[in-house]
């Protein structure tokens, strides 16, 4: 019986010739990730277990991104716990204010993940790195602690759903619209503990940033991971970011899938996920007149340079609607600098936006854009659960940078064609 791409990576890291769905394995890790929210718990468990050394100081990444710059005393104490741990064990990849970025944009940018890697992270959106042909998945802080100590972790091998992509995205359609459309179709538990494996001739039409966005939200369909095949676009990105040697795995021709779902990219349209689930999707024409109070463009889902280029295309020479707050949050310092040098930051400031240092901030209702009772926000983030960005009676609408920018200009959820 053939193996899927994910199963091949897991088999290689478990030292086995073959694995199958449902099997339990112990596998070696290429990278262990944590942030300022999850790492303090992992550090506590690390010491509690009596551990006194890490398995590899170069294969642990600690990124202070959720509540940083520190929003209060508790956040400062949490960061200090991780900072002290990183100093004690000489963790090479510790990223704090001034160096840090939103973790799932920062690690690929720094070349810390490559094709064929097995990565765990104490953050559910660790599945982002599947865009590079890696197996990556979120774990709990206790698993992170064990991973830091021993460089291994237990896994239940997932079965898979194959998404056969055809065609090419049309005007205003993005990777965000692709994944929202898929989640709208299969639901937030439609891929529960399965691997979402993307394939087909349509893959080559998707940019690496589109792929990051799609894999990032695999968890919103309940998936264990999302993964794309390695092609010239992947290899070009990897060559530009770091010097880790990629190892390419491909699904066997006779790999077994629980289901095969065809996705015609040419039929994807700008899509909005209404409260309070990423699966509650609507296309334009199915709603009207949704007034908003805030727009957030950024996050590990859509905080890369191309995302801001899309938003700037819409906002250039225009003004944010009265009564609307717009937050622009580059996912890394490099992206921020590139935006300044290319003039994107100027476009946003002249339009009436606030531009922030990298942070997860508003995405998880942490800081830098908390919503009051009854307020609505259009965000390029990944979750819109009750109370996700603030008050339990606030609302978050998930959309692409194009839609978010257009909505900022009109003051209501709007299609880009309305302002262009």
Tens of pLDDT, residue by residue over 321-355, are 999 999 999 999 999 999 999 999 999 999 999 99
Among all chains, which residue has been given the structure tokens 């891929």?
A: 191
Domain co-membership, 158 together with 24: yes
- Cα-to-chain-centroid distance, residue 166: 23
Per-position DSSP letters for 244-279, written without gaps between them: PPP------TTB--SEEEEEEGGG---EEE-TT-TT
Residue among 347, 400, 45 nearest 210 (CA) = 400
Query: Which run of H or of E encompasses 396?
Result: strand 395-398
Convert the pLDDT of each residue in 8-65 to its tens digit: 999 999 999 999 999 999 999 999 999 999 999 999 999 999 999 999 999 999 999 8
Same domain, 204 and 64: yes
The whole-chain average pLDDT of the chain stands at 96
- The answer to whether residues 176 and 293 belong to one domain is no
Give the pLDDT mean for 61-82: 92
283 exposure class (CB count in 10 Å sphere: 0-12, 13-18, 19+): middle
The radius of gyration of the chain's CA atoms, rounded to the nearest angstrom, is 20
Mean pLDDT of 155-164: 97
On whether both 251 and 281 belong to a single domain, the answer is: no
Q: What percent of the chain has pLDDT over 90?
A: 93
pLDDT at position 366: 83
Task: Outline where DSSP puts E strands in 133-177.
Answer: 135-138, 152-156, 160-166
pLDDT tens-place string over residues 257-299: 999 999 999 999 999 999 999 999 999 999 988 999 999 999 9
- Tokens found for residue 195: 């691997």
Residue 223's pLDDT is 96
Query: At residue 317, what are phi and psi to the nearest 5 degrees?
Result: 80, 5
Residues 281 and 174 both lie in one domain = no
Q: How confident is the model at residue 242 (pLDDT cuts 50, 70, 90)?
A: confident
What is the CB neighbour count within 10 angstroms for residue 38?
23
Query: In whole angstroms, how far apart are CA 135 and each of 126, 184, 199, 299, 304?
Result: 10, 24, 15, 21, 21
Select from 244, 264, 284 the last residue of a domain: 264
> Using one digit for the tens of pLDDT, what is the confidence trace for 394-419?
999 999 999 999 999 999 999 999 99
Average pLDDT rounded to a whole number, residues 355-383: 91
Same domain, 257 and 381: no
Closest Cα to residue 365, out of 386, 390, 348, 385? 390
Residues 21 and 164 in one domain: yes
Place of tokens 């197996």: 135
pTM of the model: 0.95
pLDDT value, residue 20? 95
Examine the fold and report which residue of 226, 243, 264 is the final residue of a domain before the chain moves on.
264
Number of domains present in the structure of the chain: 2
The verdict on 27 and 120 lying in the same domain is yes
Cα separation values, 236 from 98, 130, 134, 240, 393, Å: 27, 16, 15, 6, 45
Q: Give yes or no: residues 148 and 173 share one domain.
A: yes
In the predicted model, is pLDDT for residue 1 greater than 80? no
Beta carbons within 10 angstroms of residue 273's beta carbon: 27
Residue 272 backbone dihedrals phi, psi, to 5 degrees: -125, 130
Residue at a domain's end among 198, 229, 264: 264
Q: What is the pLDDT of residues 89-131, one digit of tens each?
A: 999 999 999 988 999 999 999 999 999 999 999 999 999 999 9
Q: Are residues 63 and 161 in the same domain?
A: yes
**For position 123, what pLDDT does the model report?**
93
Is the domain of 165 the same as that of 211? yes
Segments forming the whole domain that contains residue 413: 271-418
Percent of the chain with pLDDT over 70: 100
**Model pLDDT, residue 300:** 93
Scan for tokens 């942030």, then name that residue. Answer: 35
Confidence label for 134 from pLDDT (cuts 50, 70 and 90): very high
**CA angle at residue 14 from 11 to 20, to 5 degrees?**
40
CATH number of the domain enclosing 61: 3.30.499.10
Pair (239, 358) in one structural domain: no
């Amino acid at each position: 019986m053939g193996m899927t791409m994910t199963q091949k990576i897991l088999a290689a890291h478990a030292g086995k010739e073959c694995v199958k769905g449902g099997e339990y394995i112990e596998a070696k890790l290429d990278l262990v990730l944590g942030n300022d929210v999850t790492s303090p718990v992992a550090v506590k468990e690390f010491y509690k277990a009596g551990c006194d050394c890490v398995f590899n100081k170069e294969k642990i990444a600690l990124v202070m991104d959720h509540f940083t710059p520190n929003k209060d005393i508790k956040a400062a104490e949490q960061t200090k716990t991780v900072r002290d741990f990183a100093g004690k064990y000489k963790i090479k990849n510790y990223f704090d204010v001034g160096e840090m970025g939103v973790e799932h944009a920062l690690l690929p940018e720094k070349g810390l993940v490559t094709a064929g890697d097995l990565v765990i992270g104490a953050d559910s959106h660790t599945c982002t790195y599947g865009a590079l042909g890696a197996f990556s998945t979120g774990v709990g802080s206790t698993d992170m602690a064990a991973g830091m100590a021993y460089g291994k972790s237990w896994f239940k091998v997932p079965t898979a759903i194959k998404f056969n992509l055809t065609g090419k995205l049309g005007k205003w359609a993005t990777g965000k619209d692709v994944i929202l459309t898929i989640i709208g179709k299969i639901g937030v538990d439609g891929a529960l503990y399965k691997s979402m494996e993307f394939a087909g001739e349509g893959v080559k039409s998707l940019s690496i940033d589109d792929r990051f966005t799609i894999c990032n939200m695999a968890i919103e369909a309940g998936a264990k991971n999302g993964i794309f095949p390695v092609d010239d676009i992947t290899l070009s990105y990897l060559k530009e970011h770091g010097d880790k040697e990629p190892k390419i795995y491909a699904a066997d021709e006779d790999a077994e899938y629980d289901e095969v779902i065809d996705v015609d990219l040419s039929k994807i349209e700008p899509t909005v996920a209404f409260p309070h689930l990423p699966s509650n999707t609507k296309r334009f024409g199915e709603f009207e007149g949704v007034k908003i109070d805030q727009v957030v463009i950024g996050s590990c889902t859509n905080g890369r340079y191309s995302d801001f280029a899309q938003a700037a295309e819409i906002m250039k020479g225009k003004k944010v609607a009265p009564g609307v707050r717009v937050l622009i949050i580059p996912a890394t310092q490099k992206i921020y600098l590139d935006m300044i040098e290319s003039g994107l930051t100027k476009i946003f400031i002249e339009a009436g936006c606030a531009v922030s240092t990298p942070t997860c901030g508003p995405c998880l209702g942490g800081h830098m854009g908390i919503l009051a009772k009854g307020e609505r926000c259009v965000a390029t983030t990944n979750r819109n659960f009750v109370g996700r960005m603030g008050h339990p009676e606030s609302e978050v609408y998930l959309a692409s940078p194009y839609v978010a920018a257009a909505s900022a200009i009109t003051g209501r959820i709007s299609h880009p064609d309305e302002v262009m």
